[in-house]
Amino acid sequence: MRVDAFKLPTDGPADVRGLQALLDDGAVRADELVCVLGKTEGNGGRNDFTRDLAMRALEDLLAPRLGLPPARVQDRVVFSLSGGTEGVVSPHVVAFARSGAWSEAPGPKRLVVGTAHTRPFTPAEIGRMPQIEETARAVAELAGELRLAPGDVHLVQMKGAIPKADHEAVLAARRAGAPLRNDMVHSRAASALGVALALGEVARADLSDDVVCDDWSLYSGVASCSAKPGLQRTEILMFGNSDRAGGDLVVGHTVLKDILDVDAVRALLAELGLPVTGGQLAPEQRAHVLGVFAKSEADPRGSIRGRRHTMLSDDDIDDTRHSRGALAAVLASVIGDPCIYVSTRAEHHGPLGGGPLAIIARVP
């Protein structure tokens, strides 16, 4: 089993020329593609249609090569596209391909990637224990399929479900004393807690409907969750290191205590064999970094290391855009590459004001 990753800068959301060249040259086969993750230059909000444009371009590219209609491509290849390229962030995608079979004998741990789905949810289950427990079941099952112990899982990228509810269902739930939580905030939060439960980051006894978006001491250090209105089931993408895999890629993760936690970034790079000695990775080290994936959040307490911030009170620029730009600049300043994937809103993703960071690199 071998995973290969290709970092491809883009000139616009519909630019798939980099991936097309890889396919045309035979460097990667369409039927070996597992996922494509990337940043598009929209606003990152609910009306950010750059993601839809990028997905449509990828579907049109891959459909004839997979022998599928465009609408079925995402049944085979997961697209995780995040809008918002504020500041230094450079629009790009990272394509992952998987080939070969598992090794019978253990060896050095190398990158593996796999996908899964939860069962479909009802609107009443979102943001509550049924979503948490079903997410945990699917995550644990996928980890088993990838031959990963909990400590070998370093990134779980998810697109959380938000099934539609009609107006009468909304009113009925409110009258029953259990208002629906089928929104982006609660779906992200429950998805992250599901990962935490599956990987032993939190105990089942500490979880309930009441802790969702309330007890911030409960979180996952490897989850990165978004949510999509109208999606019936959650899409799961897992990255980890297995001793039954080959190739030359590894993934590692850390938890940033806040948006300025450069020490954690440096420590993670050192763990991956890329120690930072001159303030920033040297060009030859930088070439080993294939993907940088982080979650950012404007600290809801309104301060960073005892200093007041205005990200939450700025009526000109949304706080998500502030935090994306700030964290991306911090990461790029250490790595030396602006191809950084930062996703915002981090409910139960790391401590308040902080968040998970995962880096995929080629072994030096």
Question: Could you read off the pLDDT of 314-354 as tens digits, one per residue?
Answer: 999 999 999 999 999 999 999 999 999 999 999 999 999 99
Residues noted as catalytic: 159, 226
**CA–CA dist 95, 114 (Å, integer):** 13
Average pLDDT, the chain: 97
Residue 46 confidence (pLDDT) above 90: no
Q: Structure pTM? A: 0.96
Angle at 113 between CA 107 and CA 119, to 5 degrees: 135
Q: How confident is the model at residue 34 (pLDDT cuts 50, 70, 90)?
A: very high
Residue 277 counted as an annotated binding residue = no
Phi-psi bin for 358: left (phi > 0), alpha (psi -120 to 50), beta?
beta
For the stretch 52-104, pLDDT in tens is 999 999 999 999 999 999 999 999 999 999 999 999 999 999 999 999 999 99
Q: What pLDDT, on a 0 to 100 scale, did the predictor assign at position 78?
A: 95
CB 142, CB 254: distance < 8 Å: no
Residue 354 counted as an annotated binding residue = no
List CB contacts of 326: < 8 A, sequence separation 6 or more: 87, 259, 296
Residue 82 counted as an annotated binding residue = yes
Mean pLDDT of 185-199: 98
Residue 41: Cβ within 10 Å count: 18
Q: How far is CA 28 from the centre of its chain?
A: 23
Q: What pLDDT, on a 0 to 100 scale, did the predictor assign at position 106?
A: 95
CB 361, CB 288: distance < 8 Å: yes
Residue 45 confidence (pLDDT) above 90: no
Q: What pLDDT, on a 0 to 100 scale, did the predictor assign at position 100?
A: 96
Mean pLDDT of 282-293: 98
Query: Is 25 in a helix, a strand, or coil?
Result: helix
Residue 192 confidence (pLDDT) above 90: yes
Which strand (E) or helix (H) includes residue 104?
none
Dihedral of CA atoms 346, 349, 351, 352 in degrees, nearest 10, equals 10
CB 346, CB 297: distance < 8 Å: yes
Residue 174 counted as an annotated binding residue = no
Which strand (E) or helix (H) includes residue 78?
strand 78-83
For the stretch 208-261, pLDDT in tens is 999 999 999 999 999 999 998 999 999 999 999 999 999 999 999 999 999 999
Q: What pLDDT, on a 0 to 100 scale, did the predictor assign at position 166?
A: 92
Q: 304 φ, ψ to 5°?
A: -130, 115
Mean pLDDT of 170-192: 96
Longest dimension (CA), the chain: 62
**CA–CA dist 40, 48 (Å, integer):** 9
Residue 226 counted as an annotated binding residue = yes
Residue 307 counted as an annotated binding residue = no
